[in-house]
Amino acid sequence: MNGARIVGRGLADTYDNLIYFALLSLVWWVCLFTVILGPAATIALFAHADPRIGTLNDRLSPSETIWLIVRSIWRGWRLALLILPILLLLSYNIAFYGTRTSAIGILSPLWLFLFVIGLMIAASAFAIEALRAEERALAAARLAIIMVGAQLPRAVLVMLLTIAVGAVFAVLIVPFILFFPATVAAIFNRFVLSGFRIAIPNPLDPTPERAAEGKERRKWWGP
């Protein structure tokens, strides 16, 4: 699945679950403002935005979601402490070199590119942590680095398209608040599942029983 298709499928997930994704995003914003619950709520957000929900998995109930956030506080912070310092350092380098008019300012695009890669790895790591709950934070970060590095062109395209979607949502303001967090989670869940070569069933596809029934009907009535 190419990068543009992954982003398109993530947007389709948002369209198919507008109210559900809006509630998820609002809960995530509230938890983010508490700071302490931010990383754990991010794991819960990615878990809820799993595109296999409704086909292979059942949705988490509100009580199960609260329990997931509570028991993921330390797990989420371990992952955040692995990733946030690197993103902050890259942000500082962008600000530092971007204000230089000398030859050293040439490094600004390099740091910007590395920052985009860092965001991609961070989102992928949280998706891995949510989709594979048994993974330790360091293992999730390592897997995210390997996954992004192994498919770098597609990863960069997914990240740039996601940033473009975020820019459009930000102009409209309300969609950014209500849908963008869950949309990002849906996009990167699909990116990670695609990287693991895990099939995502289409809920519109007929069940094996329906497919067999249709085959028998076509055989009976002829082509």
Residues of the chain with pLDDT under 70: 1, 55-57, 98-107, 134-135, 201-223
**In Å, how far from its chain's centre is CA 214?**
37
The confidence score (pLDDT) of residue 32 equals 94
Structure tokens at 16: 């198919």
Tell me the C-alpha distance between 198 and 5, whole Å: 16
How high is the pLDDT of residue 101? Answer: 63
Residue 95 has a pLDDT of: 78
How far apart, in whole angstroms, are the C-alpha atoms of residue 8 and residue 135? 28
Q: Which helix (H) or strand (E) holds 123?
A: helix 108-131
What pLDDT was estimated at residue 43? 94
Report the pLDDT value the prediction gives residue 222, as an integer from 0 to 100.
47
pTM of the model: 0.84
Residue 210: CB atoms within 10 A of its CB come to 10
Give, in order, the Cα–Cα distances in Å from 206 to each of 21, 24, 212, 213.
Answer: 26, 29, 9, 10
Could you tell me the residue ranges of all domains in the chain? 3-221
Handedness of CA 191, 197, 203, 204 (dihedral sign): positive
Coil, helix or strand at residue 141: helix
Residue among 97, 145, 140 nearest 119 (CA): 145
- At residue 96, the pLDDT reads 74
